[in-house]
Amino acid sequence: MGLSIQIAIDSKNPHQLADWWAETLQWEVEPQDAAFITSMIEQGYASAEQTITHRGNLVWKDGAAIRPPEEREAKSPERRLLFQHSEAEKSGKNRVHWDVRLDGKDKDEARRELEGRGATHLWSANQGPHSWHTMADPEGNEFCIS
């Protein structure tokens, strides 16, 4: 049996970027438990400054995660993206990026849709019969669509 994986992505606006990627991948943003967060504040384990209200819900300010809908109820999902707050600016090409497989959807149409939602087209390339677009999400993180 293989291991599960979580990929952590530094982000200036983790909740907005989690929303963007959840829509892009047709995944879901993990709900956060406002009652639990409130109890952590009341017990002195956290402060109100560590929280924000996002889409009408009390959440931890510094992070948001997404996962596939079929793993909604999993205690430990096999695939999870965690968007964590960082003020650091992106300073160069990503050493790691992910490829979004479009499952037959036209990649040029997908490119236009993503650009309409804030992505940037960086370049297009091919190798033999395989071609792809390299894009950047709204915060500049690189990914490919094919």
Q: Kindly report, residue by residue over 87-136, the tens digit of the pLDDT.
A: 998 888 888 889 999 999 999 999 999 999 999 999 999 999 999 999 99
- The whole-model pTM stands at 0.92
SS3 95: coil
* Cα dist from 86 to 14, 60, 95, 123, 140, whole Å: 9, 14, 18, 27, 14
Higher pLDDT among residues 2 and 140, named by residue: 140
CATH number, domain containing residue 38: 3.30.1900
Task: Identify the sign of the CA torsion 69, 72, 81, 39.
Answer: positive
Task: Please tell me the total count of domains within the chain.
Answer: 2
pLDDT score recorded for residue 1: 64
Q: Do 41 and 105 lie in a common domain?
A: no
Q: Is residue 58 part of a domain?
A: yes
| Residue ranges making up the domain that contains 113 | 98-145
pLDDT digits (tens, 9 = 90+) for 2-43: 788 899 999 999 999 999 999 999 999 999 999 999 999 999
Q: Could you tell me if 134 and 122 are in contact, meaning their C-beta atoms sit under 8 angstroms apart?
A: yes
Q: What is the pLDDT of residue 3?
A: 84
In angstroms, how far is the first alpha carbon of the chain from the final one? 28
